Amino acid sequence: MSYRERRTEAGIVYVREDWVVEAPSVDVVLFDCDGVLIDVRPSYDAAIRETVSYILSKLVQRA
């Protein structure tokens, strides 16, 4: 087995050659800062309307 030597701030680390994967070329880096990669506002709004409607119907039944 052969190893590659890597220097880090913490010191030297050795990685087995057969575990090393060369990174493919990268065209874009995407940072997902809020956890939302798609626009779900329409379904979110519908869920809020249905929830409020359900809760209000239960409150009106009690009155």
**Domain encompassing residue 43:** 34-63
**Burial annotation 16-54 (CB, 10 A radius, 16+ → b, else e):** eeeeeeeeeeeeeeeeeeeeeeeeeeeeeeeeeeeeeee
pLDDT at position 11 is: 93
pLDDT digits (tens, 9 = 90+) for 6-49: 999 999 999 898 888 887 888 988 887 777 777 888 898 999 99
Q: Classify residue 10: in a domain, yes or no.
A: no
Amino acid making up residue 1: M
Q: Classify residue 63: in a domain, yes or no.
A: yes
pLDDT at position 49 is: 96
Amino acid making up residue 48: I
Q: Classify residue 42: in a domain, yes or no.
A: yes
pLDDT at position 63 is: 63
End-to-end CA distance of the chain: 78
Q: Classify residue 53: in a domain, yes or no.
A: yes
Q: Classify residue 7: in a domain, yes or no.
A: no
pTM recorded for the entire structure:
0.40
Q: Classify residue 43: in a domain, yes or no.
A: yes
Coil, strand, or helix at residue 23?
Answer: coil
Q: Classify residue 39: in a domain, yes or no.
A: yes
Structural domains of the chain, count: 1
